[in-house]
Structure 1
């Protein structure tokens, strides 16, 4: 996969964000997109070998549309400045999201501001067995990889049904239960980029398993 070509295309698209420009360069776009889909297919197989509960996700299904949804965000440009893809994709489950963009690249997993039913289930799991969750997110290698949970807005007080002196109140106040690793273009352009993502996924797996179990039990 020629990621240098991918980023070059995104930079030019960002400068010329119009349907006219895209129509003129659609052949180039489809070449890059198709190459990336094949690359995602390879990564999908590698991740499935790491996790017996992995949800196989073909690259064609994993990759997101490059068009912005102007119906809900009319002030956004027509096209995104990144390629996004979600592997290990299954309903009501945290996927393994890959974001390659000219204004930042990262991989992430977990649940970013999930709907109430999912958030309630995660909080119930933490109430029941928050010690196990803390062991996962405080493990040295986990902290070295992710730094901790994604820093997002929290409740100012305890969520409904919990007391302010709950032993895991700081976790319970979270609205987001996700982790992220920022990536440099230098890392992405290296030949071992897929292997790096496999190692990140491997480190993320106990975290994902805890959350997925919380919302299915």
Structure 2
């Protein structure tokens, strides 16, 4: 389900179709550990972001905190400061509704998942 940790999901809807790979609303302990990892191991976090970008993916900025969470107020690097404000870590891939019933959808989703794997590995 979407509430599990480290998931791949597909949304087929009337308004929008997309796939996602996410650490969706991680438990407070896990989210705290992820934030600490961002700050204490910035090279690993940045390598993951770079791998995602090479695959044409970006971490979703939706639903970020407006201010840094307690204990992370002094994070100076802008990319890290934004990342620690995240409540979840998500990459999405739009699906062309015309491909829903085609065999090409499977290949498209496999390619997306392989490109998003660095996020799962990092988490």
TM category (shorter chain) comes to 0.7 to 0.9
Aligned ranges 1:128-207 → 2 under 5 Å:
128-139=40-51, 140-142=53-55, 144=56, 146=57, 148-167=58-77, 168-207=80-119
Equivalenced residue count is: 120
SS of residue in 2 equivalent to 1:189: coil
RMSD value, Cα? 2.2
How many Å separate the matches in 2 of 1:112 and 1:174? 10
Partner of 1:210: 122
Name stretches of at least 5 consecutive residues in structure 1 with no aligned partner. 1-85, 212-217
Greater shift in the superposed pair: 106-115 or 158-167 = 158-167
SS of residue in 2 equivalent to 1:156: coil
Larger RCO, structure (CA 8 Å, separation 6 or more): 2
Higher helix share: 1
Change in Cα spacing, 1:129 to 1:150, as seen in structure 2 (3 Å) is same
TM superposition score normalised by structure 2: 0.82
After TM superposition, give the deviation of residue 184 of structure 1 in Å.
1.5
Question: Residues 81-125 of structure 1, C-alpha deviation per residue, up to 9 Å, x if partnerless?
Answer: xxxxx5xx9x96311111112221111111233231221111011
Runs of 4+ residues deviating >4 angstroms: none
